[in-house]
Amino acid sequence: MIGRARRRLLGGNLVVLLVLTSLIAAAIAAVAVQLLEQDTRTRLSLDAQRAIADLRGRGDTDFASEHGVSASGTFYIIWNAAGRATLDPARAADTALAADAASVLAGGGGRVDRVTTSGGSVLVDSRLVVLSGGVREVLQTATSLAAVNAADGRIIAAALITSSVGVLCCIVAAFWLTRRALAPLTAALERERRLLADASHELRTPLAHAAAALQVVRRQPLHRIADEDNVLEAMAGELDRMTRLTDDLLRRARGEAPGARRETIAVDDLVRQVVEAAQPRAAQRGHPLSVRAGGAGHLVGDPDSLRQALLAILDNALTHTPAGTAVVVGTHAERGLSVIDVADSGAGIPPAQKAVALEPFARLSAGRGSGGSGLGLSVSRSLVEAMGGSLLLLDNEPGLRVRIRLRRQETGRMSEERGHADSDADDSDEPAHRLRV
């Protein structure tokens, strides 16, 4: 759809710009030619006025001796009342000029015409002159238009060259305008694509866990409902979370902000709940899943976001490691932070690919299994960073350790900031890849 819209918009922009450029070039050329001819007419009219004054003051004989062919190419012809040329120093008189002179003798006054003679195109100013004794003559002051026509040709050539350059500029401008015009649409479609991808991933995780829990119940057809209370409670929790996710997605679709919750979270308890909810899926895929809670304390944030991030990381570990690979979720506190580790003993992620692994729709090279959507770690990072935390990819030797670090809720006021004493010494024993938006 974007490609078709881009082609149509590009074609429309290009046609409009080409038409405008051609019209502007043609208008400039026409104005330049008109101004040049107007200047020639003005100079010819001044020459004609001076020549008439000389003819009246000196007579034909003196006029002939003074007015031959000027350096500018201007020449003079005098016609008597009988229509015969009595003065033609340039020997330019022909039938076209004679007809023009006859027209002036018949109608009186004067005229300026572009006339084509045997010697080429000329601009001629024909005026009736009445001398002493009532003698009527026509004085023609003419100039060759060869230089004007040559200048016109140069102007038209320059206009064509300018138009050619303008065409190239129009093509570049059309591409630029098309790209700029489509930028909001492209961005909107990309946001829609990301929303759909995030929605599918966010809904897929609780659905997968609920389906796995249902399989556990179905494998025990003789059990009473009370015997599967823990599994059913986990399924109910996943369905409640999926309902909240759906509400958030509807708000996003309407352009509203999702309803984030801020509550005091007991980190160890939430981790145990998440692991318990993931146990059926882990068992279904043949992964031992365990918790090592080390007292991560409390923090303030959205429990659904943290739960969703942990489930996405667990789903990534269960999907991309072979069956039988142990997955351990551990917690501990360090320097005012609550730390959650999800570690597996699979193939891990090469250092060069860790940055790629946190990008949306990432596909890594052979090593870790395939089949995921490529969104799990990206969604987890976005959720953790929205809570003011960070997500790191560490080597588990062997395997991968995904570490979440969030600011822990303080129980009392510190006498001095402990953050000034913080360092990355806790990660010095194992290489880490730290990414923050």
pLDDT at 414 exceeding the cut of 50: no
- Choose among 53, 105, 95, 97: nearest CA to 75: 97
Residue 326 to residue 282: CA distance in whole angstroms? 10
Average pLDDT value for residue range 36-54: 84
Q: Is 334 helix (H, G, I), strand (E, B) or coil?
A: strand
Query: Strand 136-144 and strand 263-266: pairing?
Result: unpaired
Paired tokens of 208? 């997968």
Q: How many residues does the chain have?
A: 437
User: Is residue 200 in a domain?
Assistant: no
396 — pLDDT class (breaks 50, 70, 90): confident
Distance, CA of 373 to chain centre: 28
Q: What is the pLDDT of residue 390?
A: 93
User: Is residue 208 in a domain?
Assistant: no
Q: Is 61 helix (H, G, I), strand (E, B) or coil?
A: helix
Average pLDDT value for residue range 223-232: 69
Q: What is the pLDDT of residue 437?
A: 28
DSSP string, 20-58: HHHHHHHHHHHHHHHHHHHHHHHHHHHHHHHHHHHHHHH
More confident residue, 129 or 326: 326
Residue 319 to residue 381: CA distance in whole angstroms? 18
User: Is residue 61 in a domain?
Assistant: yes
User: Is residue 35 in a domain?
Assistant: yes
- Type of residue found at 163: S
Query: Strand 400-407 and strand 289-293: pairing?
Result: unpaired
Left, alpha or beta for 367 (phi > 0: left; psi -120 to 50: alpha)?
left
Which residues span the domain enclosing 68? Answer: 2-151
pLDDT tens for residues 292-334? 988 889 999 989 889 888 988 888 888 888 888 899 999 999 8
Counting the structural domains of the chain, the total is: 2
Paired tokens of 148? 């004007």
User: Is residue 221 in a domain?
Assistant: no
Helices (H) and strands (E) in the chain, counts: 8, 13
Tokens 């806790």 appear where? Answer: 426
Please report the sign of the dihedral spanned by the C-alpha atoms of residue 246, residue 247, residue 252, residue 258: negative
CA dihedral 425, 427, 431, 435 (to 10 degrees): -110
Which CATH number covers residue 386? 3.30.565.10
Neighbour-count burial of 209, counting CB atoms closer than 10 A to its CB (0-12 exposed, 13-18 middle, 19+ buried): buried
Paired tokens of 358? 């946190």
Q: What is the pLDDT of residue 425?
A: 39
pLDDT tens for residues 177-210? 777 777 776 776 666 666 666 666 566 666 766 7
pLDDT at 14 exceeding the cut of 70: yes
User: DSSP label at 401?
Assistant: E
Residue 282 to residue 419: CA distance in whole angstroms? 38
287 with 425, same domain? yes
More confident residue, 366 or 225: 225
Q: What is the pLDDT of residue 333?
A: 92
Paired tokens of 394? 């560490």
How many Cα neighbours within 13 Å face the side chain of 129?
26
Please report the sign of the dihedral spanned by the C-alpha atoms of residue 339, residue 340, residue 344, residue 349: negative
Last residue of a domain, one of 151, 177, 203: 151
Please report the sign of the dihedral spanned by the C-alpha atoms of residue 15, residue 18, residue 24, residue 27: negative
- Type of residue found at 141: T
pLDDT at 281 exceeding the cut of 90: no
- Choose among 429, 427, 361: nearest CA to 392: 427
User: Is residue 217 in a domain?
Assistant: no
Which CATH number covers residue 138? 3.30.450.20
142 with 282, same domain? no
Q: What is the pLDDT of residue 374?
A: 53
Last residue of a domain, one of 125, 151, 177: 151
pTM over 0.75: no
Last residue of a domain, one of 134, 151, 168: 151
Percentage, residues of the chain above pLDDT 70: 71
Q: What is the pLDDT of residue 250?
A: 62
pLDDT tens for residues 343-359? 998 888 888 788 777 77
Q: What is the pLDDT of residue 418?
A: 42
User: Is residue 166 in a domain?
Assistant: no
Segment holding 111, helix H or strand E: strand 110-117
What is the chain's mean pLDDT, rounded?
A: 76
User: Is residue 75 in a domain?
Assistant: yes
More confident residue, 282 or 164: 282
